[in-house]
Structure 1
Amino acid sequence: MALAESVRKELASIVGAGWFRDDKETLVSYSYDATPLYQSMPDGVIFPSSTEEVSAIMKVCAAHKIPVTPRGAGSNLCAGVVPLKGGMVMVMTRMNRLIEIDEENLTATFQMGLNTKQFHLAVEDTGLFYPPDPSSMIICTMGGNIALGAGGLRGLKYGTTKDYVIGLEAVLANGDILRTGGKLVKDVAGYDLTRLLVGSGGTLAILTEATVKLVPKPVYRRAMLAVYADLQSAAKTVSQIIANRITPCTLEFMDQATIQVVESFAKIGLPVEAQAILAIEQDGEEALVERDLKLIEDICRSAGAIQVKVAATPEEGMKVMEARRSALAALSRLRPTTILEDATVPRSKIADMVLEIQRIADKYNVQICTFGHAGDGNLHPTAMTDARDEEEIHRVESAFAEIFEVTIALGGTITGEHGVGHVKAPYLEWKVGSSGIDLMKRLKTAFDPEGLLNPGKLFAETRKRIVFASEAASSDAGTSGEASAKGGV
């Protein structure tokens, strides 16, 4: 329902009249994220510029029991910033300041709305390096990365976002400001609240500021491409590289369907007849990189690669990696709706998982391509479909449910880096069990007793039919936040 006039005035007085919006165009614009099929209308959209403003906003919302959904760039892929219960969408992009790069302590401190790519460039200008590199880094925010525990192509060697966040500032549901950690290598004072908040998806607190650790920038980098006639040889290569105690910076996988689409898009000479390719990159001191690449090349050939090509120049290597980063954009050209999922299995099970995905796609007669981070077993089965075809969407959703079931049976998890959000809430108990769900719910209640922060995420609940933007814009009703998945699981 529409916000009371007194509440509207109170919120506008905190941020300024231009930074609180509840016109229909703005409400529709912030009713969805990058996840297909999910949309829900908020009652208002607010753009704070400081932690103090976030605190004041939360105090107003707590007093009136208004749900709040924090949001960055909206590139989320698990419906994590869709305002399922209406209320306020709090957009953090005004809070985009890089506060400090501390070269003595090898840390950086920033507000959560800072663009990820801009942060990387600023850090590298100082000769330092922040490794986590989600494929959406050109558009996503550092706050979004932290809220969902983002990974990226360099996760095998360097780890993911959770391995770098050492301090946080956050606002609790009642408006209190919480600070955790700091510029410390060691800190075991009490529970590790920093780690708890990383990956919490805005369900425990509104993250406003972070301190992350940095590492020296690698001085040399080189890439190679290994081509395979079968999936098993590619998977065997991955296991053997790791077994030989070599940790590449990047070890990426694409199946044949993905190779063909990416080559059509990028036109860099990828072998479209191959069943699988591995894109491999190493960084560090030049002599060590060259040694590792020679060893990796020998392993690739002994494991059954039919072709191995080492990039002759850094630019050639960059093209290979950029082609891999373009996989989602390339696949999205095929059909009106692209559903990118995220499942992780042990490295030794990659071939089994890809074959299972292919079997499941055939079973449900849907088109699914698979690519991902082979080095850490994080695969991205991606369905090309059409949201207007409800029967096909139902088959796609059934296929993904079976994919998640197989993933767990193989010792994996339902998400490696995208988060649970709303899309995977029905499957979370499969992974953590009923006692795990109970404990998580009690943690949620301790932080947010009224359930105001990003409600409808993590924990499964009954879902209603989606209200599409076209319907909402032509309807007088679309302000109560009714929504979920059209044909949802």
Structure 2
Amino acid sequence: MSTDAPQPPAGAEPAPPAGAAHPAPLRTALAELTARLPAGTLVTDPDVLAAHRSDRAPFCPSGTPAALVRARSTEQVSLVLGTAHRYRVPVVPQAARTGLAGGANAVDGCILLSVERMDRILEVDTVDQVAVAEAGVVNAVFSRAVAEHGLFYPPDPSSWEMSTLGGNAATNAGGLCCVKYGVTADFVRGLTVVLADGSVLRTGRRTAKGVAGYDLTHLFVGSEGTLGVITEVTLALRPAARAPLTAVAFFPDPAAACAAVADYMADGTRPSLLELMDRPTMDVVSAYRDLGFPPDAGAVLIAQSDRGDQAPGDLRRFAGTASRHGGDAVVAEDPAEAELLLAARRLVAVATERLGAYLADDVCVPRRVLADLVDGVAEIAREHGVRITCVAHAGDGNLHPHVLFDPADPAEAERAHRAFGAVMDLGLALGGTITGEHGVGVLKRDWLGKELGPIGLRVHRDIKHALDPYGILNPGKVLPAAHDAGAVH
């Protein structure tokens, strides 16, 4: 199912630090690529490079790239990586750059390798309910295309109108529907991946079952471009879901809402969406667009059920559960009202971005301790003297605290960074993870060792070295440096 994977050369030199490629090899590599790629594919215009040097994660460091390659085929990606491997030039894979962890940020002297123009849906198979698409296909475009065939692709990150399937796979993106349907990894059947030396690897299969060999497909899902560049995805689909019914419940405080979440999920009901916003988040959204939130509400839950005739009963149970925990629930009477409720949740990202400076956390904990996490975040905000808003995929236990601060105030910025780290430490202490769906990137790499432990970190490094012996693929991302705390020496 694949070409031979590269073997680490005997006595391979250690990976160079970011930006350490010598000028002469870099110039030679760029000259070779310019000669072999179609005209206009490789760009060195400083303004274009500046516009592509980072993703949407504020305050993550980014370097100065040497070039941008806008690839249109797996063959072009292979050419770029093979050349970069030969001359030891770092390569940073990119697509829509909607990430929130700095995973697509440039390093000095790198080639930015964009697959955004690889945007063809190659096949939709209604019999086996799978589809094959290039990595640059936008999630929403793909979802609407398969819907025309009566099929449904559930993963729907908040950035679904912009983010690409390749980027979703590289970060194992989630979304609002994950509580019922799962994350991107649950739908990836196979991949085409270009390895660091330019070899083209095809993993997985399109069958519903298959356990031959190691699960290489899911090794690359969530690897954030550090092990290979995804150029094509084979995705499982589902029959089209019923139009969902929507309900909203307002609570006196987030703890009451979290308690309602635990009870609602414990009774065996599986909503298709269950989202939480705390009061500070409602205030941020209201400042952007007034949606009529009650002024005395401390938290809101939005629930949906897409179970057809059973959906009204699901939402009646939701309303009853909310009431037992001090909540006031309303079931939407029509699709327009339901869309208005959901719009409030989808506006959180854009409303928060308008405030300027923030750090986006992404901790995920068992649902039974979600209230402890929310209360702990509020205490962290008080302790560090910063403002933190909380929105959550509550049914998954996945909380997104946004630490807001004034970057012009160095003391406040320092407090914000300490609060950001304290939130991740709290998530780990509660048995959770530092990232439920955004990825590690640059933003969270220093905490990865705490979560993995020394043996887990060693295995990660061994895999990285086996597939990328010269360390050219997305250097400085995901794995902490060997000398950092928690690292294996």
Q: TM-score, normalised by structure 2?
A: 0.92
1:8 matched to which residue of 2? Answer: 30
8 Å contact from structure 1 (residues 260, 272) kept in 2: no
1:414 matched to which residue of 2? Answer: 434
| Letter of the 1:276 counterpart | A
1:141 matched to which residue of 2? Answer: 164
- CA deviations 1:102-125 (Å, max 9, x no partner) are 111101110001111111111112
3-state SS of 2:314 partner? helix
Give the 5 Å matches for 1:149-298: 149-285=172-308, 287-298=309-320
- Tell me the distance in 2 between the aligned counterparts of 1:317 and 1:299: 20
Q: After TM superposition, give the deviation of residue 462 of structure 1 in Å.
A: 9.1
1:27 matched to which residue of 2? Answer: 49
2:348 matched to which residue of 1? Answer: 327
- Root-mean-square deviation (CA, aligned residues, Å) is 1.5
8 Å contact from structure 1 (residues 425, 460) kept in 2: yes
Q: After TM superposition, give the deviation of residue 30 of structure 1 in Å.
A: 1.7
3-state SS of 2:306 partner? strand
- Tell me the distance in 1 between the aligned counterparts of 2:106 and 2:353: 25
8 Å contact from structure 2 (residues 245, 332) kept in 1: yes
1:299 is aligned, of 318, 321, 326, to 321
Aligned pair 1:86/2:109, yes or no?
Answer: yes
1:405 is aligned, of 425, 430, 436, to 425
- Tell me the distance in 2 between the aligned counterparts of 1:212 and 1:272: 44
2:3 matched to which residue of 1? Answer: none
- Tell me the distance in 2 between the aligned counterparts of 1:116 and 1:390: 38
8 Å contact from structure 2 (residues 206, 234) kept in 1: yes
3-state SS of 1:368 partner? strand
Q: After TM superposition, give the deviation of residue 232 of structure 1 in Å.
A: 2.3
8 Å contact from structure 1 (residues 332, 384) kept in 2: no
3-state SS of 1:173 partner? coil
3-state SS of 2:244 partner? strand
- Tell me the distance in 2 between the aligned counterparts of 1:14 and 1:126: 39
| Letter of the 1:461 counterpart | A
8 Å contact from structure 1 (residues 259, 272) kept in 2: no
Unaligned runs of 5+ in 1: 464-489
- Tell me the distance in 2 between the aligned counterparts of 1:311 and 1:264: 23
| Letter of the 2:332 counterpart | A
366-375 or 33-42, which moves further after superposition?
A: 33-42
- Tell me the distance in 2 between the aligned counterparts of 1:123 and 1:418: 25
Q: After TM superposition, give the deviation of residue 370 of structure 1 in Å.
A: 0.5
3-state SS of 2:40 partner? helix
- CA deviations 1:58-93 (Å, max 9, x no partner) are 111111011111001111111101123531110111
Once the two structures are aligned, what percentage of the paired residues are identical?
37
- Tell me the distance in 1 between the aligned counterparts of 2:422 and 2:287: 30
Q: After TM superposition, give the deviation of residue 352 of structure 1 in Å.
A: 1.1
Give the 5 Å matches for 1:472-487: none
Give the 5 Å matches for 1:432-471: 432-461=452-481
3-state SS of 1:16 partner? coil
- Tell me the distance in 2 between the aligned counterparts of 1:322 and 1:24: 38
Structure 1 residue runs of 4 or more that deviate by more than 6 Å after TM superposition:
none
* Change over 3 Å in CA distance of 1:365–1:462 after alignment to 2: farther
1:125 is aligned, of 148, 157, 166, to 148
| Letter of the 2:52 counterpart | Y
- Tell me the distance in 1 between the aligned counterparts of 2:206 and 2:307: 25
Q: After TM superposition, give the deviation of residue 461 of structure 1 in Å.
A: 3.0
2:447 is aligned, of 427, 433, 441, to 427
2:339 is aligned, of 288, 302, 318, to 318
- Tell me the distance in 1 between the aligned counterparts of 2:182 and 2:299: 25
8 Å contact from structure 2 (residues 66, 108) kept in 1: no
